[in-house]
Structure 1
Amino acid sequence: MTDLYQPAQMIDTHQHLWKPSERRYEWLEAMGAPLDADFGPEDVEADVAAAGITGTVLVQATDSYEDTFYMLSVASRVPVVRGVVGWAPLDRAAEAEAALDLYTENPVLRGIRVLNHNYPDPRWLLREEVTAGVALLAPRGLSLDVVSVVPEHLTMLVELAARHPHLTIVLDHLAKPDIAGRGWEPWASLIAEVAAQPNVSVKISGLNTASGPEWTWRDWSPYVDHAVEHFGSGRVMLGSDWPVSTLAGDFGGVWLAQRQVIAHLDTDQQDDILYRTALRAYSLDGSGSDLS
């Protein structure tokens, strides 16, 4: 990676850890091998260091308190972990409030996510009982990660962002465009609509598993360039999506490809995508970094 621009920091904003030997992850059972196995911080430590990544954000892998407290326990002993995106029962506002008050005693908890893409209702985050739960996040300085895998999720997100204008929302995985099939619409138009909401940022992550088996970073360029054009680099960030990413590549190769797909941007834009957007969206401790 010596031929690439070397920034002051690099933050991997989307990393998972899970241990089905200790707790249940229902979707993993359906996936089977190789993902239905333990993936802990020790399994990715060397790859993170080799890639030059200086900070990571752990993101929930199941809708459970156990998963969130596992990530917090990792963060307490693994210095590279800068933030945790946990889970809370957003459809049960009183319980969610108690959970968030407990979580936020630990400053490493920076956001909340639910596996909304697995719910039968694509507009679940707009339900009345959920709106009360989501409204608890911004006053506590927490963001909301959202997963989109069908167009209805993106139309929902436009309305969600307008309903909660003071909430920082992070759209995961560039909303999973159909890169393998070279699909463009309605993804492109809907991404532009989402980007028009100033409180939404987006992650370049999970693109390798949305691509064909012989993917290269060039397959991603139209989608990434479209996102940067509409969001601006100040609302775009990178995430490895490890270990899901191992279904179609190794950590180093995927991270390198993500660096390559933004390498044509100027260094200020690359700084945004490689760490500044993450610092802002997740309110991470930016001590010692260039925050200009």
Structure 2
Amino acid sequence: MIPIIDTHLHLIYPDRFAYPWLSGAPAINRPWSIEDYLAEARPLGIEAALHMEVDVDEGDIEAESRFVLELDGIAGAIAGCRPEKPDFESQLEGLAAVPRVRGLRRVLHQAPDALSQTPHFAANIRRLAAHDLTFDLCVRHNQLPIGQTLVDSCPDVTFVLDHCGAQDITVGGFSPWREHITEIARRPNLNAKISGIIAYAGKEWTLEAIRPYVEHVIDSFGWDRIVWGSDHPVVTLGGSLTDWVGATREIIKDASPDEQAKLLNANAKRIYRL
């Protein structure tokens, strides 16, 4: 069994940090600990995880990363950030100084499109290159063109597109998502994360329903520019971690062992410097 590095694990500790958005997500509005995750993850072949920021209150951003990096099984962290703020440079310096913070993310899929399109925002993202930090691009499927604009404006920054561009699979149909993915994948500084699929597919998803979305992202980006993420616990909106790992292994079973290893662990080690 080829081992997995999970590049998109959310841990939720309401006793420590404030998560303003969770009140609107009752299905996952509870504690999600590393112990519970590892109990399911390790038998599935997940050997380590990269913690993905959980859009905590701005005052908790650095503390969140410092806390999770002390937990068993966490190989690194993607920290939250606010590139739209005047004091971002100071925030960046603080986060870059935290050992094993490997990248940053600003949740954009619930933000106004204009937030990421200002010269100030792009200039601040360009600062990440000097610190060898990645930027996870979290946009909805209909925001892929504005995500592309941001990627184009920061050619020296390594980006990772979260959740295959967050297509709502329950709606059906591939356009214009398919075309947007094909186009945005032409950016050599952009990678893609095979994650979030079953959360966007509903409880009644089938392997054959989700397969074309996964395969199109792999075909568009190639085996050298893809990583795998669980999106746990958001994945539970459509199934379980076990379901998603099983579906992934089934979809890629005809790929070569080298190709499978690139998706499941090798690319993550390189892109996130794990």
Q: CA deviation at 1:144?
A: 0.5
Rounded Cα–Cα distance in structure 1 between residues aligned with 2:202 and 2:106: 28
Of 160, 164, 169, the match for 2:159: 169
Amino acid at match of 2:116: L
Of the three residues 130, 134, 139, the one matched with 2:121 is 130
Aligned residue for 1:12, secondary structure, equals strand
Query: Within 1, Cα distance between the matches of 2:92 and 2:139?
Result: 24
* Equivalent residue number for residue 145 of structure 1: 136
Q: Pick one of 11, 23, 26 that aligns with 2:20.
A: 26
Q: Which amino acid aligns with 1:59?
A: M
Compare 251-260 and 163-172 and name the one that shifted more: 251-260
Amino acid in the other structure paired with 1:246: T
The answer to whether the aligner puts 1:87 opposite 2:80 as a matched pair is yes
| Alpha-carbon contact 2:135-2:157 (below 8 Å) kept | yes
The partner residue of 1:41 within 24, 34, 37 is 34
State the SS of the aligned residue for 1:91: coil
Q: Deviation string for 1:212-250 (max 9, x for gaps)?
A: 422222222111111111100111111111011112212
The correspondence of residues 60-139 of structure 1 with structure 2, limited to 5 A, is: 60-63=53-56, 64-78=58-72, 80-93=73-86, 95-120=87-112, 122-139=113-130
Deviation string for 1:133-156 (max 9, x for gaps)? 1111111000001112142x2101
Deviates more, 1:249-258 or 1:58-67: 58-67
Counterpart position of 2:181:
191
TM-score of the superposed pair, with normalisation by structure 1: 0.88
Q: What is the TM-score with the length of structure 2 in the denominator?
A: 0.94
- Residues 195, 187 of structure 1: alpha-carbon distance in 2 compared, 3 angstrom cutoff: same
Structure 1's 176 and 77: CA in aligned 2 closer, same or farther, altered over 3 A? closer
Count residues in correspondence.
Answer: 273
Task: Find the aligned partners of 1:281 and 1:196 in 2 and give their Cα distance.
Answer: 17
User: What is the identity percentage for the equivalent residue pairs of Structure 1 and Structure 2?
Assistant: 30
**Helix, strand or coil for the counterpart of 2:160?**
strand
Partner-residue secondary structure (3-state), 2:136: strand
> Which residue of 2 is the match for residue 242 of structure 1?
232
The structure 1 residue matched to 2:50, chosen from 39, 44, 57, is 57
Letter in 2 for 1:146: L
Q: Deviations over 1:15-65 (max 9, x none)?
A: 101122333212110112x31111121221211211111110111111524
CA drift of 1:159 comes to 1.5
Q: Verify the 8 A CA contact 1:178 1:184 in the aligned structure 2.
A: no
Residues 1:277 and 2:267 aligned together:
yes
- 1:139-182 Cα distance to aligned partner (Å, 9 max, x none): 1000001112142x210122211111111101100012232232
What is the Cα deviation at residue 264 of structure 1?
Answer: 1.9
Secondary structure class of the residue paired with 1:129: helix
Following superposition, the deviation at residue 128 of structure 1 comes to 1.7
CA contact (8 A) 1:65 1:87 kept: no
Unaligned 5+ runs, structure 2: none
Counterpart amino acid of residue 144 in structure 1: F
Verify the 8 A CA contact 1:84 1:111 in the aligned structure 2: yes
Q: Does 1:209 find its partner at 2:194?
A: no
* Structure 2 contact 65–101 (Cα < 8 Å) conserved: no
Change (3 A) 1:22 1:106: closer
Shift of 1:67: 4.1
C-alpha distance 97-36 of structure 1, shift in aligned 2 (>3 A): same
Q: What do you get for the CA RMSD once the two structures are aligned? A: 1.6
